[in-house]
Amino acid sequence: MEKTRVANITSDLIDAVHEICIKHAVTHSEYRAAINFISHAIDSGERSLLFDAFLEANVVASDPTKISGTTSQVLGPFYLPDMPFIKDGVLARKNEPGERLRVFGKVLNTKSEPIGGVELDFWQADAQGRYSHFDGGATPEENLRGKVESNGTGDFFLETVKPAQYTIPDSGPTGLLLKEMGRHPWRPAHLHVIARHPDYSTLTTQIYFEGDEYLESDAVRAASTDLAFPLTYEGEQASVSFNLVLQACR
Ligand code: BEZ
Ligand code: FE
């Protein structure tokens, strides 16, 4: 009988774990401790954080369904679905603390032709590195989250604040494991975006800023320098511009 994909992957996973156990002479009490650690992380509300921090970037890199266009990035644990469309691209409140940032984007296909009607679903950390809904109520519920749409020339615009570099939550089980491994918990500053259009593969990516010190040592090993764009200034006003390239559905 031909094995299913689940059976094949599970068999290989078990073989890989077997090899690691032999290599490190893993004891039975360490095996129990590992199970307890994963349960504890889940009970502490870190199910998504634990897996997204250590494993999601590997899957983004291995996924063969996305072969052209803008590089994909991890979704991470801080996405909220069903956020509303925002008016005139104004993502940040007038009194939102931080440096105002104008975002100019253009959506293209792989032939460099503009794509209109693309839904662009943005979320970001604030200027103190906090994500609304995941910050114990420190910021308003849907703060710095919202959708815009590309126009007939593929262009879209956002008025926001520059997100801060931030540490992924580092006082719980995920952070302790990271520390144990000698890794720091910092992520470079970024904007998250999901681009959706019925004729194109959905793109989940992040926009970084050139020169960010954590681009090369991202805690979640996701950041990619081809997604780092320069911050430009006109007087005090900061702007960033980039293209998003979508792959047509096959
Ligand atoms: C994030 O960028 O929001 C993120 C991604 C993976 C783990 C933790 C946070
Ligand atoms: Fe993030």
| Residue-range domain boundaries for the chain | 62-246
Q: What pLDDT is stored for residue 66 in this prediction?
A: 80
State the distance from the centre of ligand 1 to the C-alpha of 113, rounded, in angstroms. Answer: 31
- CATH 2.60.130.10 is held by the domain 62-246: yes
Nearest-CA residue for ligand 1 atom 6 is 76
Please list every protein residue whose CB sits less than 6 Å from any atom of ligand 1. Answer: 49, 52-53, 74, 76-78, 168, 187, 220
Asked whether the beta carbons of 181 and 150 are under 8 A apart, the reply is no
For 155-201, write each residue's pLDDT tens digit.
999 999 999 999 999 999 999 999 999 999 999 999 999 999 999 99
Q: What angle do CA 230, 231, 235 make, to 5 degrees?
A: 140
Sign of the C-alpha dihedral computed for residues 41, 45, 47 and 52 taken in this order? negative
Q: Ligand 1 test: best mutation among 46, 47, 48, 49, most atoms within 8 Å of CB?
A: 49
**Region 12-17: what's the mean pLDDT?**
98
Q: Look up the pTM and report it.
A: 0.96
| Nearest protein Cα to ligand 1, atom 5 | 76
Asked if 220 contacts 52 with a C-beta cutoff of 8 angstroms, the reply is yes
Residue 70 has what pLDDT? 98
Percentage with pLDDT > 90 across the chain: 97
Write out the E strands in the chain.
100-109, 119-124, 145-149, 155-161, 166-167, 186-187, 190-197, 200-209, 228-229, 232-234, 237-246
The confidence score (pLDDT) of residue 250 equals 76
Residue 26 reports pLDDT greater than 90: yes
pLDDT (average), residues 88-111? 98
The pLDDT assigned to 3 comes to 87
Query: Residue 2: its pLDDT value, please?
Result: 79
Judged on CB neighbours under 10 Å (0-12, 13-18, 19+), 65 is exposed
Task: Give the pLDDT confidence of 40-88 residue by residue, as tens digits.
Answer: 999 999 999 999 999 999 999 999 888 899 999 999 999 999 999 999 9
With H, G, I as helix, E, B as strand and everything else as coil, classify residue 176. Answer: helix
